[in-house]
A and B are shown apart, each in its own frame.
Chain A
Amino acid sequence: MTIQRPDPLSHPMPGPPLAIAAEALFLINLMLLPVLGFVALIVLWHKHRHHSDPLVRNHLQQTLALSLWGGSVLVGFSAAIMLIGGFDNPWSWVIGVLYFVLVHAGVILLGFMGLVRAMNGHPWRVPLIGPALP
């Protein structure tokens, strides 16, 4: 099946809206509405995971995988740093806050790349942890 896409040079967002929505929800979860954005992303993935457009399936898969991995690494290690170091230890805060800010910003930047790829109608694979492209 050939899918017609708008002209990328004259259309503000030539990519498929569902792929863009998946990437947007991923970023909303990180930046605006934590948990709620993730729940909405799971609902979107569940509803459209068998979508006929491979680009939609691709972005749904990647965002879900990155949410699960990114969330675990972000929350898991931050909690470990604080629990092992102790809340009364200033160095726990120095390392914990720096770790959280850096990893959080890093995951947002991966989301940026995904969103830009979705907007332009391109596939995207999150480096290392993203499911392989078909």
Chain B
Amino acid sequence: MQYKSQAVAKPYFIAAIGLFIGQIVFGLVMGLQYVIGDFLFPMLPFNVARMVHTNLLIVWLLFGFMGAAYYMVPEESETELYSPKLALALFWIFLVAGAATVLGYLFVPYATLAEMTGNDLLATMGREFLEQPLPTKLGIVVVALAFLFNISMTMLKGRKTAISMVLLLGLWGLAIFFLFSFYNPHNLVKDKYYWWWVVHLWVEGVWELILGALLAFVLIKVTGVDREVIEKWLYVIITLTLVTGIIGTGHHYYWIGAPEYWQWWGSIFSALEPIPFFAMTVFAFNMVNRRRREHPNKAAVLWALGTGVMAFLGAGVWGFLHTLAPVNYYTHGSQITAAHGHMAFYGAYVMVVLTLISYAMPILRGRAANSNKAQVVEMWSFWLMTIAMVFITLFLTAAGILQVWLQRVSDTPMGFMATQDQVALFYWMREWAGVAFFIGLILYVISFFIKGESKAIA
């Protein structure tokens, strides 16, 4: 590695992968609870397993983003990190706070947890994805601000590149929009309205900037294409992202009590949201197609290309599938949403973090790339996880279409639970696809421990 302080990224990446494993284990448990309702009940109720599954996803991706920033920014800024010690201290604070929160979810009834953690002082709990107790939320803000201070100071003293500026914009946006998690009005419409400012403006706004910057960084490194060319693409991608994604928030406002004009605004702008993902795919393939060198880390190149394709399919195609208001009228909150959520998160954010880890980890361990043997196992893990995710998405989509028909379209509509029985076959298939995904993840972890003749530092 070029700068000693980049080494602080390593514990972040290790923690990210550890929490990723936890997320998938809880996903598998929930998958079984869909078909065996009392599995692990009352020890682990479905609502708790779901909360842990989604919260772990968010936390490990944040670890991944932070690790990626600590790795990238010194290299982009051509200077050591402002404070490696602060970065390491924040790592432990965030890890301990995250672990304590998950233990709280698992071992304390949620209402008691709310009572114990001061939710009566400022009520912020009880909302999907933002279930964290108040001290955890405050901790996230403190960690995020200290992290941004560290990254911003590093950039201020060094070179400023378009890639690092886009990354910083995304990271600041992430922190700023999280502040809306503290706003919890009594009016349910307003509550939902601003809740989406965290959830939607994260994943379909500022996180896409982070995604674009990470992808651009890796593509410069593995292809050798001129920075100017890659930066021009990045500008186009982030413009498309913000133009479509911000007003695209309206696709969440169709049925929550917001004004009706959102059905038009939301439909039109979110129908355009696949375009930045489309541009990202063309961008990744374009750069790899015209590369000036064969980078020894073929696994990282594969992850980068996969990110483009899977983000387009998951976020773009599966998003469009149910985003128009007249379609969403029937599909809202069905398993079609779950199908979209799974593939979009995997394609856009899981894969880009794994791209960065795949590129940076060998360098952090003193080599340009892992041995061929290790890379072959890693590429197997890529295909296993990716194909498994395609099947998870297809089975959930099938379940969703059948659910919508039986529950909402049929002349003799069925109740929710009766419908769930009818789609159980798809849930079983989804569970087996989930097992295949987990095996892929285990292979990914194993690939880190496979020895062999590694490639020298590039």
Give Cα distance in the complex from A97 to B289, angstroms: 33
Q: Are A90 and B282 within 8 A (Cβ)?
A: no
Contacting pair A31 B226 (CB below 8 A): no
Mark each residue of chain B from 276 to 295: 1 if its CB lies under 8 Å from any CB of chain A, else 0.
00100110011001101000
From B39-47, B55-63, B400-408, the one touching the partner chain is B400-408
Contact A120 B282 (CB under 8 A): no
Chain B residue with minimal CB distance to A102? B394
Taking CB atoms, residues of chain A closer than 8 Å to B405 are 90, 93-94
Asked if B226 and A9 sit within 8 Å, CB to CB, the answer is: yes
In the complex, the answer to whether A11 meets B229 with C-beta atoms within 8 Å is yes
Can you list, as one digit per residue, whether each of A83-112 has a CB less than 8 Å from chain B (1) or not (0)?
Answer: 000000011011001100110110011001
> How far, in Å, is A92 (CB) from chain B's closest CB?
10
Nearest-CB residue, chain B, relative to A113: B285
Within 8 Å by CB of A10, from B229, B282, B309, B318, lies B229
| Cβ–Cβ contact A115 & B313, under 8 A | no
- With known contacts A9-B225, A31-B274, A90-B406, A105–B317 Cβ distance under 8 A: yes
Q: Please give, as numbers and ranges, the residues of chain B lying within 8 Å of A9 by CB-CB distance.
A: 224-226, 229, 290, 292
Whether A12 touches B317, Cβ cut-off 8 Å, given contacts A90-B402, A94-B402, A115-B282, is no
Q: Is the CB of B285 within 8 A of A116?
A: yes
Q: Does A59 contact B (CB under 8 A)?
A: no
**280-333 of chain B: CB within 8 A of chain A:** 281-282, 285-286, 289-290, 292, 309, 313, 317-318, 321
| 404-443 of chain B: CB within 8 A of chain A | 405-406, 409-410
Indicate if the CB atoms of B290 and A112 lie closer than 8 Å.
no
A101 touches B321 (CB 8 A): yes
Select B286's contact among A27, A94, A119, beta carbons within 8 Å. Answer: A119
**CB-based contact A94/B289 at 8 Å:** no
- A interface, by DSSP: helix, strand, loop or mixed? helix
Check if B228 is an interface residue, CB within 8 A of chain A: yes
Beta-carbon contact of A31 and B233 below 8 Å: no
Query: Closest CB-CB distance, B273 to chain A, in whole Å?
Result: 12
Among A10, A14, A101, the residue within 8 A (CB) of B317 is A101
Within 8 A of B (CB), among A9-53: 9-12, 14, 27, 31
Taken together as a complex, chains A and B put the C-alpha atoms of A104 and B406 apart, in Å, by 26
> In the assembled complex, which residues on chain A have CB atoms less than 8 Å from the CB atom of B355?
none
Partner of A101, one of B281, B285, B397: B397
Q: Do A120 and B286 contact each other (CB < 8 Å), given the known contacts A12-B232, A12-B233, A31-B278?
A: yes
Pick from A8, A11, A105: contact of B313, CB under 8 Å: A105
A94 with B317: in contact, given A8-B290, A12-B232 (CB under 8 Å)?
A: no
Of A90, A104, A109, A117, the residue contacting B289 (CB under 8 A) is: A117
Is B398 in the interface zone, CB < 8 Å from A?
A: yes
Bound Cα distance from A115 to B405, whole angstroms: 38
Is there a chain B Cβ closer than 8 Å to A122's Cβ? Answer: yes
Chain A interface residue bracket vs B: 20 to 34
For residue A23, give the distance in angstroms from its CB to the closest CB of chain B: 10
Interface footprint category on B? 20 to 34
> Which A residues are in CB contact (< 8 Å) with B282?
112, 115-116, 119
* Distance, CA A91 to CA B422, complexed state (A): 12
Contact A10:B289 (CB < 8 A) given known A31-B278, A116-B282:
no
CB distance from A97 to the nearest CB of B (A): 5
Set of chain B residues within 8 Å of A90, measured between Cβ atoms = 401-402, 405-406, 409-410
Q: Are A112 and B285 in contact (CB under 8 A)?
A: yes
Q: CA–CA, A6 to B215, complex, Å? A: 25
B380-408 interface code vs A (CB 8 A; 1 in, 0 out): 00000000000000100110011001100
B398 and A122 within 8 A (CB): no
CB-defined contacts of B398 to chain A, threshold 8 Å: 94, 98
- Chain A residues with CB below 8 A from B313, complex form: 105
Q: Are A116 and B286 in contact, with the CB atoms below 8 A?
A: yes
Q: Known A31-B274, A116-B286, A119-B286; judge A109-B309 contact (CB<8 A).
A: yes
* Contacting pair A120 B317 (CB below 8 A): no
Return chain B residues, CB-CB under 8 Å to A120.
Answer: 286, 289-290
Q: Which residue of A lies closest to B313 (CB)?
A: A105
A-side contacts of B232, CB under 8 Å:
12
Residue in chain B with minimal CB distance to A119: B286
Given contacts A9-B290, A31-B274, A109-B309, contact A97 B401 (CB under 8 A): yes
Please measure, in the bound complex, the distance between the C-alpha atom of A3 and the C-alpha atom of B177, giving whole angstroms: 52
Closest to A122 in B: B289
Complex-state Cα separation, A55 to B202, whole angstroms:
42
CB distance from B226 to the nearest CB of A (A): 5
Within 8 A of A (CB), among B135-185: none
B309: which A residues are within 8 A, CB to CB? 109
A–B Cβ pairs within 8 angstroms, 7 of them: A9-B226, A90-B405, A97-B397, A101-B397, A116-B285, A119-B286, A120-B290
Apart from the given pairs A90-B406, A90-B410, A101-B321, 5 other A-B contacts in the complex at a CB distance below 8 Å: A8-B290, A9-B225, A10-B228, A112-B278, A120-B286
